Amino acid sequence: MTFSVIIPARYASSRLPGKPLLDLAGKSMVQRVYEQAQKSQANTVVVATDDSRIEMAVKAFGGEVVMTSPEHASGTDRLQEVVTKLGLGNEEIVVNVQGDEPLMPPELIDQVAVNLAQNARADISTLCELIESADQLFDPNAVKVAFDCDGMAMYFSRAPIPWNRDAFASGVDKVLAKDLTKNYHRHVGIYAYRVRFLHQFVEWDQAPIEILESLEQLRALHHGVGIHVELACTDSGSGVDTPEDLKRLRELLT
């Protein structure tokens, strides 16, 4: 099995402008993401960007970069442009590694690619972790996922799913004591796609549930696309979304 890694990297960010170029102990964030991806079994790693500053930074450390349109509504649209420019076939697998995940373990990149290759019913694969705190369970920024006995995703939500009717009615502490660590899963935002799906995705309008939850993967479920979910084989590390995340990561790296 062979696969490619694409790292979407945008300069614009409401909370951290220029995020891919922020310094992390002597290296830019996008360089650290790129180097983690290169440790995986991917045969190709490329950065996808619409900003010349990021393009120059990637070329400066010897990375491969593909320039894309600044008009894309989502990272998935950007991926589709890249696979078209690279001439990838419909059955090839690409892994989307977010440009703000400088600690992404290469083991997870390999895992999500292998997962998709082994599940013919799915055109997308992704990972999850057990939720072990009430704060995370009720945090809308921690996306929850529910899946069936074969690991096929049933729904993703910013709300706690499944909803424990009796326990939540009695208070959060009740569900923590009973079944929090076995029934609730946080979605880890790394995906593997079959290229044919990316070509379909860009033709679809946003789905109503996607707009409500602000979750792109719900567009795929809305159109009946299979998404396979597997427990991450190792801790996924932490992304950088806020100034607090940035400070914590800099302290860790130094």
CATH number at residue 76: 3.90.550.10
Domain membership of residue 35 (yes or no) is yes
Same domain, 163 and 74: no
C-beta separation of 117 from 125 below 8 A: no
Same domain, 214 and 123: yes
pLDDT tens for each residue of the chain, 254 residues long: 899 999 999 887 767 788 899 998 889 999 999 999 999 999 999 999 999 999 999 999 999 999 998 888 788 888 999 999 999 999 999 999 998 899 999 999 999 999 999 999 999 999 999 988 888 888 898 999 999 999 999 999 999 998 877 777 766 655 554 566 578 999 999 999 999 999 999 999 999 999 999 999 999 999 999 999 999 999 887 778 778 888 888 888 88
> Tokens for 197?
């799906």
Q: State whether residue 238 is helix, strand or coil.
A: coil
Same domain, 209 and 155: yes
C-beta separation of 97 from 33 below 8 A: yes
Same domain, 115 and 224: yes
Same domain, 123 and 211: yes
Cα gap 120→140, rounded to integer Å: 32
**Burial class for 149, CB neighbours closer than 10 Å (0-12, 13-18, 19+):** exposed
Last residue of a domain, one of 41, 73, 101: 101
Q: List CB contacts of 10: < 8 A, sequence separation 6 or more.
A: 19, 20, 49, 50, 51, 99
**b/e per residue 49-88 (b: at least 16 CB within 10 A):** bbbeebbebbeeeebebbbbeeebeebbbbbbbbbeebeb
Q: Which domain holds residue 122?
A: 105-236
Same domain, 53 and 168: no
Q: State whether residue 69 is helix, strand or coil.
A: coil
